[in-house]
Chains A and B, each alone.
Chain A
Amino acid sequence: MTPQLFNDIITVYPEILMTIFALVLIVIDVVAGDKMKASVGYFGIAFVALVALLSPAGPFIGFNNMLIWDNFSYVFFLIFAMAYTLTTLGSIDYLRDKNMLKGEIYIVMFFSLIGMMFMVSANDLTIFYVGLETMAISMYVLAGFNKHCLKSNEAGVKYFLMGAFSSGLFLYGLTFIYGLTGSLTYTDIAAAIQGNTGSLGIKFGLLLMLVGFAFKISAVPFHMWAPDVYTGSPTPIAGFMTVAPKAAAFGALIRFTWVAIAPASEQWTLFFTILAVLTMTYGNLVALAQDNVKRMLAYSAIAHAGYMLIGLVTMTPEGFRAITIYMLIYSFMNIGAFTIIGLLKNKGMIDDERIESFAGLSKKNPLASLAMLLFMFSLAGIPPLAGFVGKFYIFIAAIKAEIYWLAIVGVLNSALACYYYMRVTIFMYFKEPEYETELTLKAPSFVATFIAAVLVVLVGFFPSFFVNLVSSLTV
């Protein structure tokens, strides 16, 4: 084996491992009996953990500079792995209850992970795009997984149409960049647009591509698909969808802005600033008006994308690291919250996810409501929980980059967001129940909630481990 080939293989080794495991999962699904479909999910968790342990330490660059495996890819893989683990554990009870526990859901999710890994590890637009589509198609399927539910169907179709549309925009921009630079590799693009940043064609192309990215991270004004999709999808899956694809899109976007359009990045701060301000403010304002907690969290997911965009506006390594920390923390707190919502059942006439269902939950299930309280406080960014750490680093990055006003807008928005997160806790602890509700934590969902809650507290009190994990990150 030549050193070149060895280097190439080790660059793509984690993804190869994941692919093999994904194929094994299909076989496991075939072998597993109808009662045993949860085992596919458990195996999936084991495989993801195994890949996390066996992944080489980078950085490796292979396949003619097209693919990179470095710490950045690894940390994002950890985010995906975390999202997969928590979602799988948290979804088993929900799916069994709705009579749609099938092995395929975990297989498709596993495949989406591979797509996301390629998105983040890509140093080439071809790889990025194919990875993106792998992820996106898995997501369409997951959104529409509850096929007897009209809302889920709607979510699947809507996600598909908007996803196809945004991919189209992205590809259209890509053709401009390819036509004008003659290359699809990030580093070559950077070299080609160096000193040519004023070119109108390149500006058009980048604008379209960034709009495509903005669709994927559901930034306002390209968010219109997000609330309906997140609301319509099966609840734990919605948790996964608010976290993992967004993380992948952010990871790829960071690499793209940091490597490919670095020479032109100055021109795009305004674009990202507008996006960030609009996204934060719109997401929070609309979330205020929601009575459906799931829909509220969907809008809050939009708002959180806005906070993360602040990190991108700074165009500094601190900003990118802050996004990574934020994404890592956001993954477990949001999936934890979605897990609890998924388990809540209302026997009355209203939807399970209505805020009234939460009334008096603290007396019925103190443990679950304590966890929900932690997640809500953390999402609101109240110290000393994990969410605060994430926000803290984002705003610090903004301040270091001397964009004070943006940091202030972010802080004001967090204050605004407190209202609707607090509302849930107030309903849980201070309201008398109007409807007969039920929430039982069975073993898998208990474990998921427990892990997420413990992480929320631990990271809040001892952030140093996580901060160290990302502090060495370079793109």
Chain B
Amino acid sequence: MLLPIVFTIIKILIIVTVILLAVAYMTYAERKVIGAMQVRLGPTHTGPYGLLQPIADAVKLIAKEDLTPDMVDRPVFIIAPLLTMVPALAGFAVIPFADNFTMFGMEIKPYITDLNIGLLYVLAISSVGTYGVIMSGWASNSKYALLGSLRSSAQVLSYETAMGLSLVAPVLLAGSLSLREITLAQAGMWFVVPQIVAFVVYVIAAVAETNRAPFDLAEAETEIVAGFHVEYSSMKFALFFLGEYANMYLVSTIATVMFLGGWNGPLLPPLVWFVIKVLFIMFIFLWLRATLPRLRFDQLMSLGWKVLIPIALANLMITAIVVHIVR
């Protein structure tokens, strides 16, 4: 009775710790990678090759004064960063990081739970992340923040549709919504091969979902200062930051599980394959940021509604017909 609960708690702790560390080093990687792409060095001073830079940043953020502006809506202002952070972490509850394996005579399941609605759960939980952005913008009682949050929520709502539609095609192929079963169905062939269209649509939508460049209109520094979190400081700001990067990891793991075969791969251990794939997608995020200029808002909307959604729908229809014929 008690043992499984203890086990689950241990798993949760491990996963959260790893993700938080990964997030911290993602900021480092981002600066290094973009530095390299722009022929700069990036951080070098703190520790060897600047490796301690993320730790220093974290200490700095925590040590700063936690300012709460006078005219804000206090409870909402405080809840908002949590609403960004928590859903992003909660989404990892259903991600299968590797296949079941035995250790010390016990079968170990490297995931917290395997829901039969796994994918829907992730989509549902991550759709709640929008609230953090909306609430922070509204509660800040500031023009820039409100504009940023309105932009962001419109964007996220629009791209959620395309994202969901592109994810349905692999679900059709696997015949299940459980992320573990979807991974197992990809043992022979990764779904990225038959579903390359859906994969591309998903990656674009995922970039937009996470408000990353070139879709970072919500925090366009040159137009609206920093968008929804302009009034935040110290730990609350750090929570937004963590939430954003954890969200990036979440969409990357979903891409890995749904399209890149999850832990499947030759030679290397499953977990390693999984990590490599996730990091590859993360690299694409950075690459896009360093390469592409920001879109205008109307371009963003017409890309979402007039290009991605029709493509995803057509792809879905073709997939459904093919699956029906083949089965």
A and B touch in the complex (CB under 8 A): no
